[in-house]
Chain A
Amino acid sequence: MKQKKLLIGMMAIAVALGAYFLERSGTTGSRRSLAHGTLAPDFSLSQLSGEQLQLSTYRGKVVLLDFWATWCDPCREVIPRFVDLQNKYRSQGLQIIGVSMDDEPEPVRAFYQRFHMNYPVVMGTAKVGELYGGILGLPIAFLLQRDGRVYAKHVGATDSLVFENEIINLLRN
């Protein structure tokens, strides 16, 4: 009897966890989605400075990969919060990386300087978008664990406190 209750309890926890991660992943349908625990696809893209950025070189850090664009209001609104988070948690191992889905780098450069962005921004491509399940709406952010695996995916405007709480959790590990 006791074992049966324990089993039911464990199943309930498993269902709750499954529902939680499904909700956090935020996508359904025919597109390939990056599930929790999947190794984030590696890429090498040009930074605004012209240097290449390779995602896998940040292994060991908690990475917030933010797909955004200068013309996207919800994306713009959260940038000052990301700047704050980068300042606050840099020494503990947080690295934010912006992936701009703008067509041209000029507005991104202007935005970068105007908002004093303190983390690298690369120019995204359709290929990288597809690697990440299709970036067909902005903003979309992936939070990666220190081992490079996807911890969470956030689609649409997300409260920066949600990011901060998840970052704190990951930085502890």
Chain B
Amino acid sequence: MKRNFQDGHVRCAGGMIFLALTLPALAQQAGLIPTSRLINPGELVKVLQSSKLEKPLLIQIGSHVLYSQAHIPGSQYVGPSASEAGIEQLRQRIQSLPRGKFIVIYCGCCPWSHCPNVKPADDAMHAMGFTNVKVLYIANNFGADWVDKGYPVAKGD
């Protein structure tokens, strides 16, 4: 029993050390994205429903399991941008596009301040020279801030 208790605390301490070491690097700081590069769900819906406004290329940069359950109709899945593989897939998808192309990226996996995907994706796209990129500001998660609002949703791959 005592051994289990000690093991538990050693494990707990080890876990906390790991978190302390890794979380600063993983803190993707979505909050650092300038507000001028954000678009709210309501604004995006207006754009998508307008017959006059330019339609963006919509890219989902979160988990595929979440995408399969619900995503914005017409949006494309490229993979979570928190990983180098995800960023590479994003680069490949947009490489050939004009740098002024209107693109909206979104995730919605987690509360905004915890999203690991939007900041790396936004950084990568700007590093590639894209000038008309917006990041969908999802305060809580895609379920609460998009699906539950009654905005259009598609399912599947």
Is there an interface contact between A101 and B63, defined as CB atoms closer than 8 Å?
A: yes
Is there an interface contact between A87 and B4, defined as CB atoms closer than 8 Å?
A: yes
Is B57 in contact with chain A by the CB < 8 A criterion? no
> Number of residues in B with C-beta < 8 Å to the partner?
40
Given A71-B80, A73-B27, A83-B12: A101 in contact with B65 (beta carbons within 8 A): yes
| Most chain A beta-carbon contacts within 10 A, residue among B15, B117, B141, B155 | B15
Question: Which residues of chain A are near B4, meaning CB under 8 Å?
Answer: 87
Is A50 in contact with chain B by the CB < 8 A criterion? no
Chain A nearest Cβ from B9, distance in angstroms: 9
Looking at chain A's contact residues, is the secondary structure mostly helix, strand, loop, or mixed? loop
Question: Which residues of chain A are near B68, meaning CB under 8 Å?
Answer: 126, 129
Of the candidates B64, B70, B150, the one whose C-beta lies within 8 Å of that of A103 is B64
A129 and chain B: residue at smallest CB distance: B69
Is A57 in contact with chain B by the CB < 8 A criterion? no
Chain B nearest Cβ from A94, distance in angstroms: 14
Chain B nearest Cβ from A133, distance in angstroms: 8
Question: Which residues of chain A are near B142, meaning CB under 8 Å?
Answer: 136-137
In the complex, which residues 29-78 of chain A have their Cβ closer than 8 Å to any Cβ of chain B?
A: 29-31, 69, 71-74, 76-77
Is there an interface contact between A76 and B8, defined as CB atoms closer than 8 Å?
A: no
